Amino acid sequence: MRQRCFAVGGNVGRCRTMASAGYTLVEMLVVLTIISLILGLVGPRVLAYLGSSRVKAARLQIENFGSALDLFFLDTGRYPSATEGLDALVQRPTGADVWNGPYVKGGRVPLDPWGHPYQYKATVDHTPPYEIVSLGSDGREGGTGTAADISNVER
pTM exceeding the 0.85 threshold for the entire prediction? no
Q: What burial class does residue 58 get, using C-beta atoms within 10 Å of its C-beta: 0-12 exposed, 13-18 middle, 19+ buried? A: buried
Residue type, 1: M
Domain hosting residue 121, numbered range: 53-151
Which CATH number do you get for residue 78? 3.30.700.10
Instruction: Please give the pLDDT value at position 22.
Output: 78
Residues of the chain under the 70 pLDDT cut = 1-21, 155
Instruction: Please give the pLDDT value at position 62.
Output: 93
Q: How many structural domains does the chain have?
A: 1
In this structure, is residue 136 part of a structural domain?
Answer: yes
In this structure, is residue 29 part of a structural domain?
Answer: no
Q: What burial class does residue 40 get, using C-beta atoms within 10 Å of its C-beta: 0-12 exposed, 13-18 middle, 19+ buried? A: exposed
CA-based torsion, 129, 135, 140, 141: positive or negative: negative
In this structure, is residue 121 part of a structural domain?
Answer: yes
Residue 133: its H or E element: strand 130-134
